[in-house]
Amino acid sequence: MGKVAVLGTGPSIELFGKTDIEFDATIGVNDIWKYFETDVIVCVDKRKAFTPDRLRIIDSSKPKAFYSQIVSDWDTRPDFIKINIQAGYPDHIVVLDRNAMAKSYFSPFVAIQIAYWYYDTDEIHLYGVDMDRHPNLDRELCKGIKKHFKNLCTALEISGCRLIVHGDGILTK
């Protein structure tokens, strides 16, 4: 058992660069390599969702593993690992299932589950997952994210895994 850092690209990513915590693995989402070269990348969006600049960063990254459910967009990568996503959203409960990850409206949600299932962690630290200034998230989506996140925290806690959020975004309010 160890510690894993899950990194988004929000403002609190700066805190990761200042931490003295030693992590067994780092998992980032999308174009995280703009900030840090993580061991793993999780990308649950199609290529067309990214600007050319962000796509260049994703395409030039060379993590140990690149997880996605979108075979047609990402399977040409040598580090590609296909994951499955559960149907529907976890509005009432998150079922931790290695064969199919629960989804929400933000990529780190899936990255947290990958940390739990594939990296034998009992402590997950979130950095850069603020979302309070995210250009694509409105109040209703943020409300759903908070509900899904609370359900994920409960499922992880029951399974003996701590989730620690660094920063001051919507997940800490």
**Mean pLDDT over the full length of the chain:** 92
Span 146-156, mean pLDDT? 93
The CATH number of residue 79's host domain is: 3.40.50
Rounded CA separation 101/80 (Å): 16
Neighbours of 72 (CB within 10 A): 8
Decide if pLDDT at 50 tops 90: yes
Structural domain count, the chain: 1
pTM of the model: 0.94
Decide if pLDDT at 51 tops 80: yes
Span 80-89, mean pLDDT? 94
Span 2-16, mean pLDDT? 95
Rounded CA separation 156/113 (Å): 9
Q: What is the token pair recorded at 68? A: 């996605």
Rounded CA separation 116/95 (Å): 13
Decide if pLDDT at 139 tops 80: no
What's the pLDDT at 86? 93
The boundaries of the domain holding residue 24 are 2-172
Decide if pLDDT at 98 tops 90: no
